[in-house]
Structure 1
Amino acid sequence: MAKPNTLRALIDLTKTTQTLLTHYQSSLSPHNAKNAPSESLPNPLETAKACTTLLKSHTTTLSLLLLTPPLTPSALITKIGDVSSGVLSGLVAAAVADNLKANSENGLGSLMSAELRAGVLRVLGAWGEVLALVVRLAEKRQDDGGSNKKDEGPTEAERQSVLATTGVVWEACDQLLKFCDNGIVGLVVKKAEEWRSVLLDAVEELKEWGEDVDEDDEDGFEGSDDEFAGDDDIFGAANKLGKGDVKLKALLDTSVKKLKMVGMLYQALIKRRLKTFPSSAQPSSSAGEKSTEDKETQQDPMVKLEKLMVHLRAIPEGVDDLASAFYDLDENEANAMFEKCCSEAKKAVALVRQSWTGTDDEFTTWSGKWTDALNAE
């Protein structure tokens, strides 16, 4: 069995590390991260990637130490110290780096910073589970410290806990590594896919709502043997589309049809514009040093990409307002919101009608036909 004093030292160090981890997690909350002291790093994503790779390696070694009898507190203390002294602080520094915060006023800077913080927080949370497991196993060995029996290693339940906890860390690390490798392109593609999904879900709900027409069925409640038979009609009547709402129904049908076309636009933009964004145009360690005015003058692709993402994010947000107007049976508001959504989509198309190098391509031709179809009655 491990000596009680070394077990005590392991427990104390692990609990101290848990406190440090809690502090790091708090510092990465949206409010605190904005005001947290930070420094500029040559490349925050590369720093995060290097630290994440180390953490995954250290976690693998630590899990083997936990699975292999006898428990060796000194080796565990060294490994936890290695993580605390450099890896954790490096991850946090990358997540709040000035390079990212310098770009936080534009859409992409804000998105990149938020996604990196979220990824780091997932990793820190997973590592916290490892620390909790170490404390439990060490305290159990400490409780058995007075016996002379040989340490036969973890029980089957403990083995499964070690493997499962290690797996959670690996998964969180792999997600963060993928994010770092994919960079700007991976981020904008992910966000565009998410917004497209939100858009299409909302369109499908609108379609289903439009099909649930209030027929003013006189046989629904009166004469029924079930005293609750008409409850659905009574409570749902307020926002049902009536048979007489011909103009609103026509507007709904048009909205559903054309918003599905906007969903097609997302697919085309993801394939032809977002995934083809040139690596040479992506922000470097000096991101934010060049003024927006200079970028506009030079037709910087990053400026176009940032504007494009603003339009793509605004569309599903506008569809939420459109749905609310339909549910309120407000034809004027619904029409205004529908026009706003279409306007955002057309601005997005016009912004990147040509390729990132300023030449016509397949998307240029397709976008012209798409715009004509959207404008058609």
Structure 2
Amino acid sequence: MALPLCWAEDRYRDDAGPYGRNLLMDRLMCGIEDGESSEGSNFNPQFWETLGQAFKATSQEATKISLAYSKPPLPSEEDCQKLSDGLLNAILATSTLYYSLPKKQGITLRKTIREAVADVIEGTMQLIEVILNSRIQSLSQAQLVSTGSVWEACDQFEQLPKDNHAAVVSIVSGYLGVVKDALEEMEQALAGGEDPFSDVLEDDITGARGNQDTYWSEADRRLIAPCLGLMKASKACLKKVLGAMKTHGKVETADQVAQLDDLADITQEVSPSVDELALSMYPPMNQAAVRLNAAKLSSVLKKVLEITRSSHVCPDTESGWVQFLNNAIDHNMNKIKNLTQDAL
């Protein structure tokens, strides 16, 4: 595998010193990109153990540098070279391992590992930046925080998914959590009475406002009901898809891995669509915008159900809830259309 060009540059830059900004910033910045191992490569079953060791080594080397530059005297040029070599080799090992993870193991899995490795590199860059900008008298608070950030980034290895099924389950669980929060926020606003902004807007003089743009009308509230139904269908859809993936999801074949990636891609669109609909529901309500955003969300949910139905996570035993949710989406969308005819 070809390494990034910047790793093959001269080990040290004369204009930056043996441990200068150019050496570390340039090398670390290009330590990881969205590359791909050769298509013919096989997945090494020792990958996860080796990656864990690389994360641990990076944490240890970052700690060495932080301690060496925590108080005077500064390390000698020879010691500085050893320290920088140790850190750069650990970073190189980590990014090289990422490159060796084939896409056939799962796009979602690769993305998750890339983000984890990027967190390690970015944390290390921040630590070096703090050291380069500090006066070496004593261990600064900023240096302590930056060192802790590197430790935290490296420690996350233990929580990383080790196959595409676990990666997709984790990411869809996150999407479900965001949708739950959006739904709860809207329900709380509705339960707060006629004025959804009562907790954030206040008249300093009278304690009351006459701006009717902050209130829902009766027509607005009739429209809100099916919109809320669509948001609830979004939550139910993600919850059922997640349950089906946990029960039936597999990574034994390339098709199964790809189907899980497809589900990760389409479910990613649900939360932003829910947010757009929720925002358009607040007063002053534009019914045409609400109808448009509801139609967008309905389309996304239909696509989620379609992809789920055609995948291995949806055997015949799961088809009942798929049809039920399809009907619920249609029911609420038809109500929204009927209530917004005059807005067209």
TM superposition score normalised by structure 2: 0.66
Q: Which residue of 1 aligns with 2:85?
A: 81
Preserved contact between residue 25 and residue 121 of structure 1 (Cα < 8 Å): no
**3-state DSSP class of the match of 1:307?**
helix
1:169 equivalent in structure 2: 150
Q: Indicate the SS of the match to 1:14.
A: coil
Aligned residues: 303
Which residue pairs with 2:37 in the alignment? 40
Q: 2:300 aligns with which of 344, 362, 377?
A: 344
Give deviations 1:38-68, integer Å, cap 9, x for gaps.
5626569757555323313434566677799
For the Cα contact (< 8 Å) 1:273–1:355, is it kept in 2?
no
Indicate which of 223, 238, 243 corresponds to 1:251: 223
Following the alignment from structure 1 to structure 2, what is the Cα–Cα distance between the partners of residues 26 and 70? 28
AA matched with 1:78? K
Query: Aligned partners of 2:141 and 2:29: how far apart in 1?
Result: 30
Structure 1, 200-209 or 190-199: larger mean CA deviation? 200-209
Alpha-carbon contact 2:109-2:168 (below 8 Å) kept: no
Find the counterpart in structure 2 of residue 334 from structure 1: 290
Match 2:172 to one of 182, 187, 192: 192
Q: Which runs of 5+ in 1 are unaligned?
A: 1-10, 141-156, 216-225, 283-299
CA-to-aligned-CA distance 1:9-34 (integer Å, 9 cap, x gap):
xx94332xx423322454479xxx46
1:19 to 18, 22, 27: 22
| Amino acid in the other structure paired with 1:251 | L
TM-score (norm 1): 0.61
What's the CA shift string for 1:253-277, capped at 9, x where partnerless? 2221342242133223223315753
Offset, 1:119: 2.5
Structure showing greater relative contact order (alpha-carbon pairs closer than 8 Å, 6 or more residues apart): 1
RMSD (Å) for aligned C-alpha atoms: 4.5
Change (3 A) 1:333 1:60: closer
What percent identity do the matched residue pairs reach? 18
CA contact (8 A) 1:66 1:162 kept: no
Contact 2:270-2:297 at 8 Å conserved across structures: yes
- Whole-Å separation in 1 of the counterparts to 2:68 and 2:86: 15
CA contact (8 A) 1:14 1:131 kept: no
- Rounded to whole Å, the distance in 2 between the matches of 1:192 and 1:258 is 19
What does 1:223-372 correspond to in 2, within 5 Å? 228-229=205-206, 232-234=209-211, 237-238=212-213, 240-243=215-218, 245=219, 248-273=220-245, 276-281=248-253, 300-327=255-282, 329-353=285-309, 356=312, 359-361=315-317, 363-372=318-327
- Aligned-partner SS, 1:53: helix
**What whole-Å deviation, never above 9, does each CA across 1:143-171 have from its counterpart, x for those lacking one?**
xxxxxxxxxxxxxx639887765433221
| 1:319 alignment partner AA | V
Larger radius of gyration: 1
Q: Quick one: structure 1 residues 373 and 227, their matched pair in 2 at CA, closer, same or farther if it must change by over 3 Å?
A: closer
- CA distance 1:21–1:48, change in 2 (3 Å): farther
Unaligned runs of 5+ in 2: 1-15, 197-202, 333-344
1:252 is displaced (CA, Å) by: 0.9
Q: CA 1:325 to 1:359, structure 2 compared with 1: closer, same or farther past 3 Å?
A: closer
Instruction: Assess, with a 3 A threshold, how the Cα gap between structure 1 residues 131 and 335 changes in structure 2: closer, same or farther.
Output: closer
Deviations 1:81-133 (A, max 9, x none): 1222x322344455677955x99xxxx74x65654443333212332355467
User: Given residue 126 of structure 1, which amino acid in structure 2 is its aligned partner?
Assistant: G
Cα distance in 2 between the residues matched to 1:370 and 1:120: 38
Task: Mark the CA change 1:27 to 1:275 in structure 2 (over 3 Å): closer, same or farther.
Answer: farther
